[in-house]
């Protein structure tokens, strides 16, 4: 059913009784051309682009819980393409472009809100690093602006300019960045893939992979064996534990990133803002809550929860940047499991098992990457070739040393 103002009004007049399920709930078929493991944003986007861009529709997406139960429903909804390195920036800029056309592509309002992303800086050295990054963005056709203190003040007048331990000296601003309603991304991609014939199968955890003579032949699941010519893993956060079933040893650690939302308040913050002297980034949702986060907890974990030191650290960063939020109250905190890769950048590649494809290692960048990740992963699955935008996201970069290390932290995942 196509969504339109007319369909909304017609249904309202009939008591909203005629809306149909957004996706079917089919039984799994014995086999598919492609089985995508993981019904999160990336898996569903991959299914959508496989069907739409490559005409491959004999596809199943299997999800161990409910659709969107992983990181796509646990992030702080920020989208941006303010990356530095050649391996990253074209990919994230392509993602930004796909976000810009997403609603028309999906006929689903994911509330892509290009309200701007502001990274403030506090020193000359930090400014120079931001300038290098902003110029890399410009070189790649993305938008970037360098703001001085007064321009920052105009955007966010309540930031602490007078009494700060690390005074704000300016900022790098990407006007096209912003936020997207995360759950709507899941539902929109799922609806579109489903309408094109993709089977979406919830509550169907993969329990093993059938590999014969080095080639994948299907997935063992809680609901029986599902044969597949190709299997695509899209389970960031759990990549190591799922990959282990196929014999993968990955350059990845699982870490938890906490996020927070305050009670709803009338409009306060119109952009996304990131603190440069501590760990705090924040935007205000359309419902009115300030949505914010900070650093990862920093130890390997598969528990979707964090601990108090980081909660305090994030609140401290928030108060240092915006001392007006002291009386606003945190309503809820949660944790998402990240694939923290060894260089802080993702992987979209084939594996040593023929027909088994891998998508993971997204670190903090997973949500904003959703459309381009699906686009490039679909390309790889369909053609067997890396998409040019994801050409650097290969496993062999670790052995060769051609790592994509935005932060320059080296092979220690919790520092990225």
Partner 1 sequence: MSQINRLTGKGLVDHSKTVSFQFDGQHLEGHPGDTLASALLANGIRLVGRSFKYHRPRGILTAGSEEPNALVELRTGARREPNTRATTIELYDGLDAASQNRWPSLRYDLLSINQLASPVLSAGFYYKTFMWPASFWEKLYEPMIRRAAGLGYPSKQTDPDRYEKANAFCDVLVVGGGAAGLSAALAAARTGACVILCDEDFVLGGRLLSERGEIDGQSTQDWAKSAVAELESLPRCRIMRRTTVFGVYDGGTYAAVERVSDHLPEPPAHAPRQRLWRIVAKQSVICAGGFERPIVFGDNDRPGVMLASAVRTYVNRFGVTPGRNAVIFADNHEALRTASDLADAGVTVRAIVDPQPQPSATAEQVATETGALYINGIIDAVSGAYGIKSVRIKDAQGASKTIDCDVLAVSGGWNPALNLTTHLGGKPKWDNALSCLVPGDLPPGMRVAGAAAGQFSLQACLASGEAAGADSARDCGFSPSAPSRPAPTEDGSPVAPVWYVPSSRGKAFVDFQNDVAVSDIKLAAREGFRVPDHVKRYTTLGMATDQGKTSNLNGAALLAEATGRHLGAVGSTTFRPPYTPVAIGALAGHHRGKDFRPTRLAPSHAWAVEQGAVFVEAGAWLRALMFPKPGETAQETVDREVANTRTNVGVCDVSTLGKIDVQGSDAGTFLDRVYINGFSKLAVGKTRYGLMLREDGFAMDDGTTARLAENHFFMTTTTANAVKVSQHLEFCQQVLWPELDVQTVSQTEQWAQFAVAGPKSRKIIEALLDSGQDISNEAFPYMACGSFTACGGAPARIFRLSFSGELAYEIGVPARFGDGLIRTIMRAGAEFGIGPYGTEALGVMRIEKGHAAGPELNGQTTAHDLGLGRMMSKKKDFIGRFMGQREALNEAARAAIVGLKPLDPKMRINAGAHLVKRDAVANAENDQGYVTSQAYSPELKSFIGLAMLSDGPARYGEVVKVCDPLRDYETLAEVCSPHFIDPEGERLRV
Partner 2 sequence: MRITCPYCGARNLEEFTYRGDATVKRPDSLDESATEAWVDYVYLRKNPAGLHKEFWQHTGGCHAWLEVTRDTTTHEIVAVELASKGAEHKER
Instruction: Return residues touching partner 2 (CB under 8 A).
Output: 238, 240-241, 244, 249-254, 298-303, 307-309, 342, 398-399, 411-414
Around Cβ 333, how many Cβ atoms within 10 Å?
15
Which residue of 208, 224, 388, 408 would you call a contact of partner 1, by CB under 8 A? 408
Q: How far apart are the first and last CA of the chain?
A: 43
Which residue of 53, 109, 208, 244 would you call a contact of partner 1, by CB under 8 A? 109
Per CB under 8 A, the segment of 66-74, 215-223, 235-243, 362-370 that binds partner 1 is 66-74
Instruction: Name the residue nearer to partner 2 (CB basis): 218 or 361.
Output: 361
Structure tokens of 68? Answer: 């969107």
* By the rule CB under 8 A, 328 interacts with partner 1: yes
Residue 7 touches which of partner 2, partner 1, none (CB < 5 to 8 A by kind)? partner 1
Integer Cα distance of 276 and 294 in angstroms: 11
* By the rule CB under 8 A, 195 interacts with partner 1: no
Burial of 311 (0-12, 13-18, 19+ CB in 10 A): middle
Rounded to the nearest 5°, which phi and psi values hold at 236? -50, 135
Which residue of 151, 307, 386, 414 would you call a contact of partner 1, by CB under 8 A? 307
Around Cβ 211, how many Cβ atoms within 10 Å?
18
Rounded to the nearest 5°, which phi and psi values hold at 331? -95, -35
Residue 8 touches which of partner 1, partner 2, none (CB < 5 to 8 A by kind)? partner 1
Integer Cα distance of 280 and 312 in angstroms: 11
Structure tokens of 262? Answer: 């305050």
Instruction: Name the residue nearer to partner 2 (CB basis): 224 or 408.
Output: 408
Q: Which residue, 238, 258, 248, is CA-closest to 39? A: 238
* CB-based contacts of 306, cutoff 8 Å, min separation 6: 256, 257, 258, 297, 333, 335
Q: Which three-class secondary structure state does DSSP give residue 229?
A: strand
Around Cβ 324, how many Cβ atoms within 10 Å?
13
One character per residue 25-44, x = contact with partner 1 (rule: CB under 8 A) = x-------------------
* Beta carbon of residue 331, minimum distance to partner 2 (angstroms, whole number): 24
* Beta carbon of residue 72, minimum distance to partner 2 (angstroms, whole number): 20
Residue 298 touches which of partner 1, partner 2, none (CB < 5 to 8 A by kind)? partner 2
Instruction: Name the residue nearer to partner 1 (CB basis): 127 or 230.
Output: 127
* Beta carbon of residue 40, minimum distance to partner 1 (angstroms, whole number): 13
Instruction: Name the residue nearer to partner 1 (CB basis): 341 or 359.
Output: 341
* By the rule CB under 8 A, 241 interacts with partner 1: no
CA distances from 375 to 45, 48, 80 (A): 7, 9, 17
One character per residue 266-305, x = contact with partner 1 (rule: CB under 8 A) = xxx--------xx-----x-xxx--------------xxx
Instruction: Name the residue nearer to partner 2 (CB basis): 218 or 366.
Output: 366
Sequential DSSP letters for 37-58: E--SHHHHHHHHHHHHHH----
Instruction: Name the residue nearer to partner 2 (CB basis): 40 or 251.
Output: 251
One character per residue 117-136, x = contact with partner 1 (rule: CB under 8 A) = -----xx-x-xxxxxxxxxx
Residue 135 touches which of partner 1, partner 2, none (CB < 5 to 8 A by kind)? partner 1
Q: Are 287 and 131 in contact (CB under 8 A)?
A: no
Integer Cα distance of 319 and 316 in angstroms: 5
Residue 394 touches which of partner 2, partner 1, none (CB < 5 to 8 A by kind)? none
Around Cβ 79, how many Cβ atoms within 10 Å?
28
* By the rule CB under 8 A, 154 interacts with partner 1: no
Give the residues across from 255 on adjacent strands.
338
Size of the site for partner 1 (CB under 8 A): 116
Instruction: Name residue, tokens 């739409």.
Output: 52
Instruction: Name the residue nearer to partner 2 (CB basis): 66 or 302.
Output: 302
* Beta carbon of residue 339, minimum distance to partner 2 (angstroms, whole number): 9
Integer Cα distance of 131 and 285 in angstroms: 29
Per CB under 8 A, the segment of 164-172, 212-220, 234-242, 381-389 that binds partner 1 is 164-172
The number of residues making up the chain comes to 416
* By the rule CB under 8 A, 205 interacts with partner 1: no
* By the rule CB under 8 A, 410 interacts with partner 1: yes
């Amino acid at each position: 059913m196509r969504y339109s103002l007319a369909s909304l009004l017609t249904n309202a007049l009939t008591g909203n009784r005629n809306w149909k399920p957004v996706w079917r709930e089919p039984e799994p078929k014995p086999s598919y051309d492609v089985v995508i493991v993981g019904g999160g944003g990336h898996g569903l986007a991959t299914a959508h682009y496989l069907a739409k861009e490559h005409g491959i529709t004999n596809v199943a997406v299997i999800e161990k819980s409910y659709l969107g139960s992983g990181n796509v429903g646990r992030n702080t909804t920020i989208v941006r393409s303010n990356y530095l390195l050649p391996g990253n920036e074209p990919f994230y800029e392509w993602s930004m472009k796909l976000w810009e056309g997403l609603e028309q592509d999906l006929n689903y309002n994911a509330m892509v809100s290009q309200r701007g992303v502001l990274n403030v800086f506090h020193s000359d050295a930090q400014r120079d690093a931001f300038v290098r990054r902003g110029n890399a963005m410009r070189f790649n056709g993305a938008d970037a602006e360098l703001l001085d203190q007064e321009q920052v003040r105009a955007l966010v007048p309540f930031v602490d300019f007078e009494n700060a331990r690390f005074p704000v000296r300016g900022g790098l601003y990407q006007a096209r960045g912003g936020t997207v309603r995360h759950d709507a991304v899941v539902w929109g991609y799922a609806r579109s893939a489903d309408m094109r014939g993709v089977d979406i199968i919830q509550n169907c955890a993969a329990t093993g992979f059938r590999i014969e003579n080095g080639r994948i032949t299907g997935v063992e699941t809680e609901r029986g064996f599902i044969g597949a010519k190709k299997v695509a893993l899209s389970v960031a956060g759990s990549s190591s534990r799922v990959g282990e079933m196929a014999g993968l040893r990955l350059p990845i650690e699982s870490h938890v990133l906490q996020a927070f939302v305050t009670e709803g308040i009338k409009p306060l913050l119109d952009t996304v803002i990131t603190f440069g002297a501590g760990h705090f980034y924040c935007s205000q949702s359309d419902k009115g809550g300030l949505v914010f986060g900070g650093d990862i907890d920093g130890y390997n974990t598969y528990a979707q929860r964090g601990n108090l030191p980081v909660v305090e650290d994030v609140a401290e960063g928030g108060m240092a940047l915006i001392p007006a939020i002291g009386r606003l109250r945190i309503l809820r905190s949660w944790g998402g499991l990240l694939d923290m890769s060894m260089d802080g950048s993702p992987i979209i590649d084939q594996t040593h098992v023929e027909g088994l494809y891998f998508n993971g290692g997204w670190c903090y960048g997973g949500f904003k990457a959703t459309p381009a990740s699906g686009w490039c992963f679909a390309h790889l699955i369909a053609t067997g070739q890396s998409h040019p935008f994801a050409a650097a996201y290969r496993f062999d970069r670790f052995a060769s040393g051609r790592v994509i290390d935005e932060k320059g932290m080296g092979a220690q995942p919790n520092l990225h």
